[in-house]
A and B are shown apart, each in its own frame.
Chain A
Amino acid sequence: MEWINVIVQGILLGGLYALFAAGLSLMFGVMRFINIAHGDFIVVAAYLLLVMVMTLGLPPVVGIGVVVILMSAVGYLGQRILLNRVLDEDILPPVLVTFGLSIIIQNSLLEAFSADSQRVPSGNFATASLTFNDELAIGVLPLAMFLAAVGVIGVLQFIFFRTALGRLLRATSDDPEIIPLMGANNSHVFAIATALASAVVAVAGTMLAMKTNFDPTIGPSRLLFAFEAVIIGGMGNIWGTLAGGIILGVAQTIGAQIDAGYQILAGHLAFLAVLIVRPMGLFAKAKG
């Protein structure tokens, strides 16, 4: 019966991966732009929380709020000032710019914090757990994180489908050229999309900081997990991304159960399997 435990852990892990994926998929959906530094921004959020909690002594919840606001602002400005200038049909300039950003971020973090593994302590939460009969114990923190992830995705879904802003974001992803004819400014819309994605990244990064050990170099592998979750779940579908994250998480925990060294490989293989069988993803929404 320990397999049930494995699967539950996988599902909880999947919530985190779904958050990684949601930010990536948002930016790609609206701007057709893959941010190679996506994983590195998640790590930046983790380090920011570390500073908030360890250096400034803020309680973690307050720290998370500050990080979210900070990164949303940086995301908005960064898009407006830098990324908007390299966006167009060609995907290569954004690839090179975000590659450059990735290298800058990783090395700056190395300079500032050294390569040591870190973790943000979450007090009593860290060890508390709910037990169901003898076999199954679910940590309170991982459960809270999973619920938070589902909540964030629900909020995103709400924004996209029930608000005027979401309408504008969806329209921009369809046909950015005539958005100005609707009286909206593309620069601003793109920057709002990035700010939103940055907020999601901030939540994801702060959760990462409390859940596992992190160091400046784990960014790229987070990007790959995010990407895999998007592809498995299906493009253009926010809830599908949650499903994708969960499937990836479960694949990883099953792999880890077979052999600790197989965890990441198992995830990659699950991704490849979906890619071979259903390249659009398991829950893709066909676009008109």
Chain B
Amino acid sequence: MTKLLETQDLTAHYGDFQALFGIDLSVEEGETIAIIGSNGAGKSTFLRAVTGMRPATGQNITYDGQQIAGMTADRIHHLGLAMVPEGRRLFSSLSVEENLKIGAAGKRTGPWNLDEVFKLFPALLERRRHGGTELSGGQQQMVAIGRALMSNPRLLLCDEISLGLAPKIIREIYAAVPLIRERGTSLVVIEQDIAQALRVANRVYCFQEGRVSLTGQPSELSRDAIAKAYFGTEDS
């Protein structure tokens, strides 16, 4: 079975500074992958390279067997990869409903539409006409996720959806994950909340200073191993 997403030896530079040193990562259809790591480890850079938001020509990124490195972000989106960007990035001139609708600009068919998203996140239904940025942080995150779902992606990439949110809200949002999976979307989540990541993922990758320092199933990974992979050497 072809992997849904696979990167081999992915590197990334910001000018002279190297952010990623050869990342090997794969996602099978139906899986939920969590990427954990401290700030600056390269997690967001990785997602941006995969979605075409940063240049990746010459790299090896395959999606469903097709080479997507070097493609424009909008083309990659049409293939069924959607991203929930860091910081939500809702459109302030658009209402909640319009923010959701614009996610469907890609016109892929599938289980997700406006009604289904409102069923998934009922809090949004009564606020559908409000300005996108007038909502609470948690509700904005729901809109951002819903917006990405509207394109009926096969693979959903989430960049730090728990950032700045209270634990109760985080749990509420993650409660939606099983339903998203059920409907045929695989997930990659970047998470600062390690416990949440371990709870929701089939497999975990830990990034440390641009490299994969640890990978495996949550049940296989001990706390010590994770701490070491997350922070590097014991005394750093």
* Residues of A bordering B, CB below 8 Å: 164, 167-168, 170-171, 173-175, 177-178, 180-185, 287-288
Contacts and interface: CB of A to CB of B under 8 A. Distances in A.
B187 interface: no
Given A167-B101, A178-B85, A183-B77, 5 more contacts: A164-B101, A167-B102, A173-B93, A182-B103, A183-B78
B91 A174 contact: yes
29 contacts: A164-B105, A167-B94, A167-B98, A167-B102, A168-B105, A170-B93, A171-B91, A171-B93, A171-B102, A173-B93, A174-B91, A174-B93, A175-B89, A177-B89, A180-B52, A181-B73, A181-B77, A181-B148, A182-B103, A182-B106, A182-B147, A183-B78, A183-B105, A183-B106, A183-B151, A185-B72, A287-B92, A288-B132, A288-B134
The A interface, classified by DSSP as helix, strand, loop or mixed, is helix
Contacts of B105: 164, 168, 182-184
Contacts of A170: 91, 93-94
B93 A180 contact: no
A184 B131 CA distance: 22
Contacts of A287: 92-93
Interface of B: 51-53, 72-74, 77-78, 82-83, 85, 89, 91-94, 98, 101-103, 105-107, 131-134, 147-148, 151
Contacts of B147: 182
Contacts of B134: 288
A288 B131 contact: yes
Contacts of B94: 167, 170-171, 174
A180 B71 CA distance: 11
B91 A181 contact: no
B82 to A, nearest CB: 7
Contacts of A183: 74, 77-78, 105-107, 151
Nearest to B52: A180
B98 to A, nearest CB: 5
A150 B92 CA distance: 27
B61 to A, nearest CB: 16
A287 B132 CA distance: 12
Contacts of A181: 51, 53, 73, 77, 82-83, 85, 148
A288 B78 contact: no
A277 B109 CA distance: 52
Contact of B102 (A168, A177, A180, A288): A168
A175 B147 CA distance: 15
A180 B72 contact: yes
A203 to B, nearest CB: 25
Nearest to A181: B83
B23 to A, nearest CB: 21
Contacts of A182: 74, 77, 102-103, 105-106, 147, 151
B33 to A, nearest CB: 19
B31 to A, nearest CB: 22
Chain A to chain B: the 3 pairs with minimum beta-carbon distance, closest first: A183-B106, A180-B73, A288-B92
